[in-house]
Every structure is written in structure tokens, then in C-alpha cells.
């Protein structure tokens, strides 16, 4: 394999969480007088950090969200994670078989990343190799998070491959000088998502985790 590090996004790549998170935001924003549907949130903000997404919604709506918005949202997501969150099919077996170092670099906040991976039974595969957009100045589509993760893992950008389900994530990987593999196996991905990821710069697009090892060998 021609890579020294595999960087996984979390939501929609390791855990099937995008619909849960988007639904929680849609319900919470409606209560705050900022109605925006789950589908629109996914279309506009999938892969974007909550900080950047909420800042955009505040600007567009002219409303300031309550100071405890994040706290209330986290409680809703934690409840829904415990009730229905699942790992992406095949990802546990893939991680167990992966022979090169890997980590997770997500736009989510660290507590949510850890909770999601723990509930899905994947946290043991990553230990402390978890990186959040809160650790860098700019979130995706800027390359900062992936470059930070690579630096912490002792890998050069050119020897890294990123597994991403979102357009901003693919753009961030390309901007970082890394190889990007698109993933469309999350339940939130629309039928036309694969060509969009390819157009954004994904070298390969896969729809199942059991296709990742062959894809890595081809890249």
C-alpha cells in the first residue's frame, strides 16, 4: 500500500450519524425561531463544523441562538445515539484488517466524536488518535484539520489518504495535498452523490467498506 496514514472522517464514514445530527439541529433551530429542514441542513452543511454552520445561520436569520444551544443539542444527540446509532456496515472488520496507521479527523466536537465511536463499538480502534475541528483555526473545506492530524501522527501529506463522505471534506483533503477517497455508504447519501464527490476531487468513490482495501491498493 502506498500510504503511511489513513485518515477517516467520522460522521457518515465510521458511524451512520448524519441523519441523527441533522434532525437534532433542525428540531432545535425550529424551537429557536430559525426553521431550516433536515434535508437542507445536510445539503448545505454536511462536513462543516457546527461552529461555522451556526454562525452562518445566525447571520442569515438575524437571530442570536441561545447561549445554551450547544448544551441542549448535545443532550438530544446523546439520547438519540444511545437509542439508534450504528456503525457503518463493515467498518469494524475493515479497521481490524488495516495494516497501516489510521486516525479520525472530524468536524464534530470531541465529546460527540468519542461518544459516537464508543456507542458504535469503534472507540477501541482509535484510542487517542482522534482529532476535531475545534483543534484548528479553520474547519473543512480548509486543509487545517487534516494537516494537523497528519503532523500529530508523524506523516507527510503526500503519504496520507482521506476517507470522506462530504464535499467540504474532499475539498479539504485535496487542499492538503492528500489523496481523497469518497464514501457513499451512509444512509444520508443521495443517489447522485458519487459523481459529486468525484467532481470535487475524490480519486476513487466506494459505497461499501469492504471495497476500501482494494481502493487503497489502486490509488
Full-prediction pTM beyond 0.75?
yes
Domains in the chain, CATH or no CATH each: 5-16+86-218 (3.40.50.1000), 18-84 (1.10.150)
For residue 50, the model assigns a pLDDT of 86
For residue 158, the model assigns a pLDDT of 96
For residue 24, the model assigns a pLDDT of 92
- As a whole number of angstroms, the distance between CA 122 and CA 140 comes to 23
C-alpha cell at 96: 481490524
CA distances from 145 to 17, 135, 183 (A): 20, 8, 19
Buried b (16+ CB within 10 A) or exposed e, 23-55: bbbbebbeebebebebeebbeebbbbbbebbbe
Backbone angles phi and psi of 48, in degrees to 5 = -90, 145
pLDDT, tens digit only, all 219 positions of the chain: 689 999 999 999 999 999 999 999 999 998 888 888 888 998 888 888 888 899 999 998 898 999 999 999 999 999 999 999 999 999 999 999 999 999 999 998 999 999 999 999 999 999 999 999 999 999 999 999 999 999 999 999 999 999 999 999 999 999 999 999 999 999 999 999 999 999 999 999 999 999 999 999 888
For residue 143, the model assigns a pLDDT of 97
For residue 37, the model assigns a pLDDT of 86
For residue 1, the model assigns a pLDDT of 61
- As a whole number of angstroms, the distance between CA 164 and CA 168 comes to 9
For residue 90, the model assigns a pLDDT of 97
Amino acid at each position: 500500500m502506498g500510504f503511511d496514514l489513513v485518515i477517516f472522517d467520522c460522521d457518515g464514514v465510521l458511524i451512520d450519524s448524519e441523519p441523527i445530527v441533522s434532525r437534532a439541529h433542525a428540531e432545535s433551530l425550529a424551537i429557536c425561531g430559525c426553521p431550516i429542514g433536515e434535508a437542507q441542513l445536510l445539503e448545505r452543511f454536511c462536513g462543516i463544523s457546527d461552529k461555522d454552520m451556526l454562525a452562518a445561520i445566525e447571520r442569515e436569520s438575524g437571530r442570536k441562538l441561545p447561549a445554551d444551544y450547544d448544551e441542549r443539542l448535545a443532550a438530544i444527540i446523546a439520547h438519540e445515539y444511545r437509542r439508534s446509532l450504528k456503525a457503518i456496515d463493515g467498518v469494524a472488520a475493515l479497521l481490524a484488517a488495516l495494516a497501516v496507521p489510521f486516525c479520525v479527523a472530524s468536524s464534530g466536537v470531541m465529546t460527540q466524536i468519542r461518544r459516537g465511536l464508543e456507542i458504535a463499538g469503534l472507540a477501541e480502534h482509535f484510542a487517542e488518535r482522534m482529532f476535531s475541528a475545534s483543534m484548528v483555526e479553520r474547519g473543512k473545506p480548509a486543509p487545517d484539520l487534516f494537516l494537523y492530524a497528519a503532523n500529530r501522527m508523524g506523516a507527510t501529506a503526500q503519504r496520507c489518504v482521506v476517507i470522506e463522505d462530504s464535499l467540504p471534506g474532499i475539498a479539504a483533503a485535496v487542499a492538503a495535498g492528500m489523496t481523497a477517497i469518497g464514501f457513499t455508504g451512509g444512509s444520508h447519501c443521495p443517489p447522485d452523490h458519487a459523481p459529486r464527490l468525484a467532481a470535487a476531487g475524490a480519486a476513487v468513490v466506494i459505497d461499501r467498506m469492504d471495497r476500501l482495501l482494494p481502493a487503497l491498493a489502486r490509488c
